[in-house]
Copies of this chain bind each other. A is one copy, B any other.
Amino acid sequence: MLGKIFYPESIAVIGASTDPNKTGHIIFKNILHGFKGAVYPVNPKAGEILGVKAYPSILDVPAGSVDLAVIIIPAKFVEQALLECSKKNVKGAVVISGGFAEAGNEQMQASLVATGRKLGIRIIGPNCQGFNNPHAGVCASWPYVGAKGKMAVVSQSGTVGATIECWAADEGLGISKFVSLGNRCDIDEAELIEFFSRDETVSTIALYVESIKDGKKFMDSVRGSGKPVVVLKSGRSEYGARAAASHTRSLAGRDEIYGAAFRKAGAIRVDSIEEMYDVSKLLAYGPPVRENGILIITSSGGCGILAADLVKKAGLELAPLGEEVKKKLAGLLPGHCILSNPLDLTGDTDAARYETVLRETSAPSLVIFGDPIPGAAEVAEKFKGRIIVCYLGGGEIEQSEKRKMHSLGIPVLPTPERAVVALGKLVNYNNHPKR
């Protein structure tokens, strides 16, 4: 049934506004921007909004049924709106409005849930930043992100999710889904993990939470999902836990217990928003590396060392470069290249040297391009099944090569440190006993 929410044929925006600064305007505009189906703005005072005829109530909408309602009206009117929605066969409601449990109005929220259940209307939120599904052209959220990608993001923080969306859009990767959980009065992270496990546009599920709503259900959803679930859980320190308690009124719980549960279920825990993004990106687009012995190939000695420094910490090893291979490479590469691991092609390298090394070796490789290096993407493509790429210090050529790699489905990490940490998590995930 979540299908009608994420892939609706028609949408009512209850509380669509003519004021460009209002959330009710921004969301309506964002939906209009990409959605091909029918959109009905509902606003008793507006004749039309952005050129679309507005209706005083959803009951006035000409269609007999509407799949999805996005609701941005004061909290006290939301339940009534839901009752009207049911007359139009609405299957799901995204309640953006705040003023419920997070504001101390637990009773109002409980009543909303009960009504939704009675009417058969599933609810995202309330007090949330909506959702985005570029694959259905529905950005019922903000900012507008329309690029289609493979990562799903489920987040108790609208901003954390939006940040991942923005980065993915900026990098030309796009997003598969973004869901802001808000107070998650009905639909929770476990149900979304389950649903996205069956959605073929989703390759990886990234989750930001301050607490897990239902531990057992969550564990089952992660275990049952054939897809990687990357978790950023905040409220880990005393200060953080206290802040989490006032934010979502959920007890953060002891961090070690969460850690153990994540490990047991096979979720991948990460420590920051950037790591959440890197690891999701690598799992969604990167190669299915299992060996933990890696080869570092670099044009920058310094970046090779920075990468090597973190290899053990990331649970990896440096694969030895065999004497046979060394001898062969010595005949193929200029004498000043350092035939070791990291294998340093030095600053005057071109893309061809990378190709030579990759052809003569077989270990999963971290390939660091630390200079402009035109043609890097073409070489990377040939070995995409076993390499991960880090590109930095290359100015405009780096930017265009990176875009090219992303369009070829090759994930590019921005620094050697972030690349090694993410690769460690990838390898660790692929070696989980359940896989």
Contact = CB atoms under 8 A, between A and B. Distances in A.
A84 to B, nearest CB: 24
* Stoichiometry, copies per complex: 2
A340 interface: yes
Nearest to A271: B417
B344 A246 contact: yes
Interface stretch (A106-114, A219-227, A392-400): A392-400
B272 A166 contact: no
Contact of A244 (B157, B162, B305): B305
Given A99-B336, A336-B98, A237 B310 contact: yes
Nearest to A302: B157
A131 B146 CA distance: 41
A196 to B, nearest CB: 20
Interface residues of A, number: 78
Contact of A235 (B158, B299, B309): B309
Interface string A197-241: 000000000001010000000000000000000000011111110
Contacts of A395: 142-145, 162, 166
A308 interface: yes
Nearest to A344: B247
Interface stretch (A11-19, A52-60, A279-287, A311-319): A311-319
Contact of A304 (B247, B340, B344, B396): B247
A393 B103 contact: no
Interface string A119-149: 0000000000100000000000011110000
A338 B208 CA distance: 21
Interface of A: 23, 98-99, 102-103, 129, 142-145, 155-163, 165-166, 208, 210, 234-240, 242-244, 246-248, 271-274, 299-306, 308-313, 318, 335-336, 338, 340, 342, 344, 346-348, 370-372, 392-398, 415-418
B142 A372 contact: yes
Contact of A393 (B23, B99, B159, B306): B159
A126 to B, nearest CB: 12
Contacts of A272: 306, 415, 417-418
Contact of A237 (B210, B274, B311): B311
A165 B393 CA distance: 8
A374 to B, nearest CB: 8
A246 B345 CA distance: 12
A304 B243 contact: yes
A303 B162 CA distance: 12
A42 to B, nearest CB: 20
A240 B162 contact: no
Given A98-B348, A272-B417, A393 B158 contact: yes
A415 B302 contact: no
Given A344-B247, A393-B163, A240 B305 contact: yes
Nearest to A165: B393
B237 A393 contact: no
Nearest to A335: B103
A98 B336 CA distance: 9
The 7 closest A-B CB pairs, nearest first, are: A157-B302, A143-B395, A159-B370, A240-B309, A159-B300, A247-B301, A162-B393
A378 to B, nearest CB: 16
A244, A273, A415, A416 — which one has the most chain B CB atoms within 10 A of its CB?
Answer: A273
Contacts of A308: 237, 239-240, 242-243
Contacts of A397: 143
Contacts of A246: 338, 340, 344
A255 to B, nearest CB: 10
A415 B370 contact: no
Nearest to A156: B302
